Amino acid sequence: MAVEGITLVERKDRAASSPEAGLLRQVLAYSGDLMLVRHEMQKGWVGAKHSHPHEQLVYVISGHIRFTGGGKTFDARTGDSFVVPGDVEHQASALEDSEVLDVFTPFREEYADKK
């Protein structure tokens, strides 16, 4: 029985996209306030420098990434997490095949299902 306002999102039912070579994005559950996004990065992938108004929480499920933002550069590995404040220019790269979960607040309209 579903509780009103709670919806199960099964990973198998969510399509993935490849916005850049070496990056696979899968938007999972989201509401108007939060969005959960799974990213798979191939070793050697280097993301474009960018910023967005959304606050971002990053959790490395597996692998090893390098992150640059807010005047800092560091490596994050399996089990590590960090927060990226909104409007901070940042960039990530994959030092090995990696899987990352990102939580955005508020949700990213450009990632949401188009209805």
Give the mean pLDDT per block of 10 residues along the chain (115 residues): 74 92 96 95 97 97 97 97 98 98 94 73
Q: Which amino acid is at 42?
A: Q
The residue among 91, 5, 27, 100 whose CA lies nearest residue 61 is 100
Q: Which amino acid is at 1?
A: M
Q: What is the CATH number of domain 24-97?
A: 2.60.120.10
Backbone angles phi, psi at 49, to 5 degrees: -65, 135
The confidence score (pLDDT) of residue 96 equals 98
Distance CA 6, CA 72 (A): 38
The confidence score (pLDDT) of residue 100 equals 98
Residue 105 near residue 51, CB atoms below 8 Å: no
In this prediction the pTM is: 0.90
The confidence score (pLDDT) of residue 101 equals 98
The residue among 27, 26, 41, 18 whose CA lies nearest residue 93 is 41
